[in-house]
Chains A and B, each alone.
Chain A
């Protein structure tokens, strides 16, 4: 059990979302960086979809109200337990009375604070995720506030306290193969996002298809958990296309009439009528989530086979982390 001692807002409870209700028009929602959420749960031996606190604005401080194993994953920030530095992507034991603080964001956007067993808030439509737009899930459907007390799901076989020093995971950008930069793409710090052509891809003119992969795209401040709006060259179609609204999913790159693409993210609406030029592959969505507003991304066309290979690598990374974490915890019992 922990208490939010200080927050400036925008932190919420998130798990892997509620994809079983998409057909009812309910967004999938859940963690923006699903890989980081699963990493924390793997370190602690939680259910893979256990809920955690998604931290968006820093600093945030927590008062530990009862001894608990904790993991912090995701964005690289300064993590301190009673003033002692904790490594990123790390699991450790905290005791009653200690203060955990996250501050000084070095890179990335979203950090996740996991408690052993997972955070216990009521499930709504099969998920504990907060859906701010409709004000349900999480803690009363809202952002966390100072003073909120966060409980954990009772465990039948709780893990013993993590041994002194804790343990952790390698950062995924070191542990996973980076998308290979095509020779034609300029070498800069932009995040590479691999995409598959979507239904209306071939309706865009050649100049736009070329611009999609050759230009850097800046994430604008108009971005949110629902979608990342990008600034760059205007994309246009060969002929005007009138479309009825149809189903869309996180990762879809829509192009509104203005020509500036929008990448749908966790709280994506369930349908839309804008043409879709591509879909960012799921294994790269965490890279997008951890790219800060104002920073550039670049698109790189990929194939279905490469997308599947990237997905297999990501799930293999998580499986290995879960298995090795358990083996290590057992080793120290």
Chain B
């Protein structure tokens, strides 16, 4: 079951209550929207780490799409730390920060799910992304080429 919840003035307690109720009802997707903030929570029946934290999807020819794990604005750089994240053509290691997702006052990193080369940026700076939006792609092939060179 999926249900969108639009709220005007949610307190933390109310949000926690909604999440608890949703868990009880086996709701899998939950969106909480307030002004410029949209939180999308995807609940799993088994809170055992089966969720794909990096939001990756392996595509064809070793190309991996790195997807947003929540609704937010995509920031290529941390607002207080400019020029520190890799861009197209650059080699990245697994776990390296590729950019940030900003939702209200919260900032979360977008991490590289694997070693490779950033192939394409599919989202521009400050663009609104939804849960599952592909933000960029990482290529294994170019990574190998890079290593061979």
Q: Which residues does A use to contact B, with CB under 8 Å? A: 76, 85, 87-89, 163-171, 174-175, 317, 319-328, 330-333
Contact = CB atoms under 8 A, between A and B. Distances in A.
B51 to A, nearest CB: 8
Interface in B92-115: 95, 97, 102-109, 111
Interface in B8-57: 10-12, 15-16, 19, 32, 34, 37, 39, 41-42, 47, 51, 53
B80 A163 contact: no
Nearest to B69: A331
Contacts of A321: 104-106
A324 B41 contact: no
Nearest to A168: B107
Contact of B106 (A85, A325, A330): A325
Given A322-B12, A323-B10, A331 B42 contact: yes
A324 B78 contact: no
A324 B97 contact: no
B24 to A, nearest CB: 14
Interface residues of B, number: 33
B149 interface: no
A325 B108 CA distance: 10
B80 A87 contact: yes
B79 interface: yes
B109 A324 contact: no
A171 B41 contact: no
A306 to B, nearest CB: 20
A244 B81 CA distance: 51
7 contacts: A167-B106, A168-B107, A171-B79, A171-B80, A319-B12, A320-B105, A325-B106
Contacts of B95: 164-165
A323 B105 CA distance: 10
- Nearest 9 A/B pairs, CB to CB: A165-B109, A324-B106, A323-B12, A167-B108, A321-B105, A320-B104, A165-B111, A323-B15, A175-B105
A163 B97 CA distance: 13
Contact of B79 (A164, A174, A317, A333): A174
B70 interface: yes
A326 B106 contact: no
A88 B107 CA distance: 11
Contacts of A327: 15, 19, 32, 39, 41
Given A165-B97, A321-B104, A328-B70, A87 B12 contact: no
Contact of B70 (A165, A171, A323, A331): A331
B81 A87 contact: yes
B53 A332 contact: yes
Given A320-B37, A324-B37, A167 B109 contact: yes
A163 B19 contact: no
B102 A170 contact: yes
A170 B12 contact: no
B79 A324 contact: no
B81 to A, nearest CB: 6
Nearest to A175: B105
Given A87-B78, A171-B79, A171-B80, A326 B12 contact: yes
A315 B51 CA distance: 33
Contacts of A89: 80
Given A165-B95, A169-B106, 13 more contacts: A85-B84, A165-B97, A165-B109, A167-B106, A167-B107, A170-B105, A170-B106, A320-B34, A320-B106, A326-B16, A327-B39, A330-B19, A332-B51
